[in-house]
Amino acid sequence: MKDTLAVVASSDACLSAARALAVQLDIPCLDCVSPEEIDAPAQVLYLGAQLELCATGRKAPGPVFVDFVGGSAAHRRKFGGGKGQQIAKAVGIRSGFYPRVIDATAGLGRDAFVLASLGCEVLMLERNPVVRALLEDGLRRLREAAQGDAELAAIAGRLSLEQTALPAVEWLFRQAPESQPVVYLDPMFPGRGKSARVKKEMAAFHLLVGSDADADALLEPAFAACYYRTVVKRPRNAPFLADRKPSLSFEGKSGRFDIHTKHGVPG
């Protein structure tokens, strides 16, 4: 990672924090410089009012960061369809029943935030240290915004990041059998063809994270740890995770939720 990523600060006021983050991640700190003025490495973590993953160079696309307060997260929280959303049905949300969810492949935390906004307590697992830093920064800003917003305060109280940084497979294997109500899996899937192209802004993120080549190994410990169900989010035409047929699936235009049930959720 040292040759492909560095930390930069937006100003002298952020320099101390930027250097500390560089030590934490064991990557260089280039001090105060704009990402567009950098030729190498290909990516930097830009620390200012928020932490951003940026491609470098003058024609680089926009940054990637975790935003639980504004943008698409705010729009979906207000207009996303509530308990009628497929993700809500997939995890088993019912009136008066909001299961605790382990999001074992949290990524940028978007689905975790949706579930927390719907009433579930969500614990995010994320093994990539850079993505974890982005999530920590997003949670920090969510908690700051929540100080003046009761609705955000309730959501912030339900959303957390596992602090051990263990790989999800190991974390799940360490859990007692049937101790976690719902386990949610959304492993990165290698894209093919034009339909799988991602937005330019996400190119840096996909370059950093890659595909989860070991994703199949998640299903067994996830299903062992869950009590009600394990939910797997997949592209619509993707094969079943670990080639294991689910109990049922909810299919949309571009994706689907495969549900592996163990015990029925309360009616």
Residue 111 marked in a binding site = yes
| Annotated binding residue 220 | no
Quote the DSSP letter at residue 197: P
Residue 158, annotated as binding a ligand? no
CB atoms within 10 A of CB 210: 10
CA distance 138 to 70: 11
The reply to whether 110 sits in an annotated binding site is yes
Nearest in space to 234 (alpha carbons), one of 216, 210, 256: 256
Instruction: Check residue 62 and give left, alpha or beta (phi > 0: left; psi -120 to 50: alpha).
Output: beta
Residues 6+ apart with CB under 8 A from 77: 113, 114, 117, 155
Q: Is 174 annotated as a binding residue?
A: no
- The sheet with strand 51-55 has its strands ordered as 29-32, 5-9, 43-47, 51-55
Amino acid sitting at position 22:
A
**Per-residue burial over 25-57, b = 16 or more CB atoms within 10 Å of its CB, e = otherwise:** bebebbeeeebeebeebbbbbbbeebbbbbbbe
Q: Give which of 69, 28, 61 is closest to 45, Cα–Cα.
A: 28
Tokens of 163: 């602090």
Q: Which residues are CB-contacts of 165 (< 8 A; sequence separation ≥ 6)?
A: 126, 127, 129, 132
Cα distance between residue 259 and residue 182, in whole Å: 10
Annotated binding site: 110-111, 126-127, 186
Annotated binding site for S-adenosyl-L-methionine: 110-111, 126-127, 186
